A and B are shown apart, each in its own frame.
Chain A
Amino acid sequence: MELAITEMAKVTGAAQRVLEFRDVSLSFGGLRAIQKVSLYVGQNELVGLIGPNGAGKTTLFNMATGVYCPDSGTILFQGHNIAGMPPHRINRLGIARTFQNIRLWGQMTVLDNIRAAMHRRAQTPVWEIVAGSTHSARTETHIVELARELLTYLDLTRFEHELARNLPYGEQRRLEIARALATDPTLILLDEPAAGMNTGEKVRLMELIRRLQTERHLTVLLIEHDMKVVMGICERVVVLDHGEKIAEGRPQVIQRDPRVIEAYLGEAPPTA
């Protein structure tokens, strides 16, 4: 019974909202990229953000992570307005992201990519690091241990000492997720995590994203073009087109929504 109530709460949005856009708009010069978009992601929810190319999905991510500041509207994260905050501060509050066009630190090893993202755990004063104190050495060992744990979790251990740019494509995408997890977020924004993956990789990715939600209790918002992935894992889907929200609901419902079909395939030809 209780489970049913939380399920209901999720669907109606009554559960605690982790991230919420309220009437957010953004223009680039004359182009209105986002127009009065409102959407939310509930606690521990797994929401999909879909829409044709240029609909403004990544722009929404960029606003939620401080890359762009909205012209109007508010973006609430756990009740705080984060619109216009610098990216590093937003990440410290608990939002991590991956990038559509993979942006790993290519010339660094896989392990160092994770270590660098764990920098907040290294609160050793600089003079101690520089003097090589035992305290600093202990902290470093601890961070390396944590980083290795994370690599094991994402099945990347065998690439530990590889340079990030030399990894196969699918592994690079997983490393992006690992790096985002290393910052210890409560909300993770995944920008087309399945892009360029083969079917087997996609299945593993879907499983991974579900595990993030269930085992790590993360809230997930993901942009994805692959409808199998979206329909397979998302509990709720929000559809954007030309910077506006055109539909929202359960994946099965969204699939049959005429406005969504129109946005993707164009207007139905007039029946003669």
Chain B
Amino acid sequence: MKSPSVRRTFLFFLLYVALLAALGETVIPAIGPYYTQVLIFIGINITLAVSLNLILGFAGQFSIGHAGFMALGAYTAAALSFYVLAPMVAQLGWIGSTGGLALSLLGGGVAAALAGLMVGIPTLRLRGDYLAIATLGMGEIIRVVILNTDFVGGARGFTDIPRWTTFTWVFLVAGLCILVVRNFISSTRGRALVAVREDEDAAAAMGINTTRYKVFAFVLGAFFAGVAGGLQAHYLQYLHTNSFTFLRSIEIIVFVILGGGGSITGSVIAATVLTILPEALRVAQSWRMVIYSALLVVMMLTRPQGLMGGREFQWSWLLLKWRK
């Protein structure tokens, strides 16, 4: 690591991964498969929520196509590992599955990012409602194309994907996504992106290339959605386009809006709570989704600006509380 030094971030992240690995070895086997699955879905949803928050909350672009990017990432990653990587790494044990997962996730992320770039350049010139409709269409096109591609299972679904996703991997990706979005957003360039959300014409008058910033946010968000899709594929070992309808996109939008657009902390909390809630409500049986929806309505009525209302968690809050 020569200058520019990233040693501090690197060490911090290494520590985080070590902690995750330790938890994966000790806590995860102890809590059993059901709770592990809930945790993994939490991690995937955090990644989806934070990456969409970059597009929706920070860049202010209303995109209803996040599930489309997720689908593209999931299927690309799955196809990569099923056809190419799994036969190659079969003899290599855990090193093989780790390397295989890393490569397939990267492939899924890049595929989604490329799609984001191709879709973003023409559509991000649109504003508001038009953009929402264009991205909705884009998400559906991706889904229908996959549904008609026999190579990845088509309407039968894609089966026998290797089970490579672990707790450690899911939270490594979630942590990376949070770190990347946080560092970008708090930088001067990140502030310029938020300026585009606040007033696009004023931003352009201050020399900000608004289309470029919007496309960048869109591509980065799509990348992490693709990676999250890849994680889901290698956990469930089965993919069907029904999991990536626009309802899935809406679910991610709900995470972002409920947590508060423009707050990473809010997205993390909302994704966590809203993943646990339907599980916790299983006792209510058939009333489960009714209660879930009613709770969403109540939360939106009481805190329309979202849980965090655009603010972030800061360590100084804890210190203040503690001193008092």
Interface positions of A (Cβ within 8 A of B): 65-67, 86-88, 91-92, 96-97, 99, 103-108, 112-113, 115-122, 124, 126, 128-136, 139-140, 143, 179-180, 182-183
Task: Identify which of residues 196-239 in chain B touch chain A, using a CB-to-CB cut-off of 8 Å.
Answer: 198-199, 201-210, 216
- Whether B199 lies near A116 (C-beta < 8 A) is no
Other-chain contact of A116, B6, B188, B209 (Cβ < 8 Å):
B188
Q: Contacts A116-B208, A131-B6 given: A140-B188 contact, CB under 8 Å?
A: yes
- Whether B198 lies near A108 (C-beta < 8 A) is yes
A127 to chain B: closest CB distance in Å?
9
Other-chain contact of A126, B184, B205, B210 (Cβ < 8 Å):
B184
- Whether A120 lies near B199 (C-beta < 8 A) is no
Kindly state the separation between the CA atoms of A126 and B215 in the bound complex, as whole angstroms: 14
- Whether A134 lies near B187 (C-beta < 8 A) is no
Supply 15 further A-B pairs (C-beta < 8 A) apart from A103-B199, A103-B201.
Answer: A67-B201, A91-B204, A107-B198, A112-B194, A116-B192, A116-B208, A117-B206, A119-B192, A119-B207, A126-B184, A131-B6, A131-B183, A133-B5, A133-B9, A139-B188
Q: Which residues of chain B are near A113, meaning CB under 8 Å?
A: 195
- Whether B207 lies near A133 (C-beta < 8 A) is no
Per-residue interface assignment for chain B, residues 1 to 17, with 1 indicating a CB less than 8 Å from any chain A CB and 0 otherwise: 00111101110000000
Other-chain contact of A91, B10, B195, B205, B310 (Cβ < 8 Å):
B205
Task: Offer 29 A-B interface pairs, CB within 8 angstroms, sorted by A.
Answer: A67-B205, A87-B204, A88-B207, A88-B210, A91-B204, A96-B206, A106-B199, A113-B195, A116-B188, A116-B191, A116-B195, A116-B208, A117-B207, A118-B188, A119-B207, A122-B187, A122-B189, A129-B184, A129-B189, A129-B190, A130-B179, A131-B6, A132-B8, A132-B183, A133-B9, A140-B187, A143-B188, A179-B206, A182-B206
- Whether A105 lies near B3 (C-beta < 8 A) is no
- Whether A86 lies near B188 (C-beta < 8 A) is no
B166 to chain A: closest CB distance in Å?
24
Other-chain contact of A99, B195, B202, B204, B207 (Cβ < 8 Å):
B202
B223 to chain A: closest CB distance in Å?
12
Count of chain A to chain B residue pairs whose CB atoms are closer than 8 Å in the complex = 124
Kindly state the separation between the CA atoms of A69 and B199 in the bound complex, as whole angstroms: 21
- Whether B188 lies near A122 (C-beta < 8 A) is yes
**Which of A66, A103, A122, A133 counts the most B-chain CB atoms under 10 A from its CB?**
A133
B27 interface residue, CB < 8 Å from A?
A: no
- Whether A136 lies near B187 (C-beta < 8 A) is yes
A117 to chain B: closest CB distance in Å?
5
B162 to chain A: closest CB distance in Å?
30
Q: Which residue of A lies closest to B194 (CB)?
A: A108
Q: Contacts A131-B183, A133-B4, A135-B5 given: A120-B194 contact, CB under 8 Å?
A: no
B203 to chain A: closest CB distance in Å?
8
**Which of B5, B8, B262, B310 counts the most A-chain CB atoms under 10 A from its CB?**
B5
- Taking residues whose C-beta sits less than 8 angstroms from the other chain, chain B's interface range is 20 to 34
B88 interface residue, CB < 8 Å from A?
A: no
A145 to chain B: closest CB distance in Å?
12
Q: Which residue of A lies closest to B192 (CB)?
A: A119
Per-residue interface assignment for chain B, residues 30 to 56, with 1 indicating a CB less than 8 Å from any chain A CB and 0 otherwise: 000000000000000000000000000
Kindly state the separation between the CA atoms of A124 and B4 in the bound complex, as whole angstroms: 10
B244 to chain A: closest CB distance in Å?
27
Kindly state the separation between the CA atoms of A126 and B184 in the bound complex, as whole angstroms: 8
Kindly state the separation between the CA atoms of A99 and B203 in the bound complex, as whole angstroms: 12
Q: Which residues of chain A are near B6, meaning CB under 8 Å?
A: 128, 131-134
Kindly state the separation between the CA atoms of A233 and B192 in the bound complex, as whole angstroms: 33
Q: Which residues of chain B are near A128, meaning CB under 8 Å?
A: 4, 6
Kindly state the separation between the CA atoms of A255 and B218 in the bound complex, as whole angstroms: 54
Other-chain contact of B9, A88, A97, A131, A143 (Cβ < 8 Å):
A131
A75 to chain B: closest CB distance in Å?
15
Q: Which residues of chain B are near A126, meaning CB under 8 Å?
A: 184, 189, 216
Kindly state the separation between the CA atoms of A32 and B217 in the bound complex, as whole angstroms: 40
Kindly state the separation between the CA atoms of A210 and B10 in the bound complex, as whole angstroms: 50
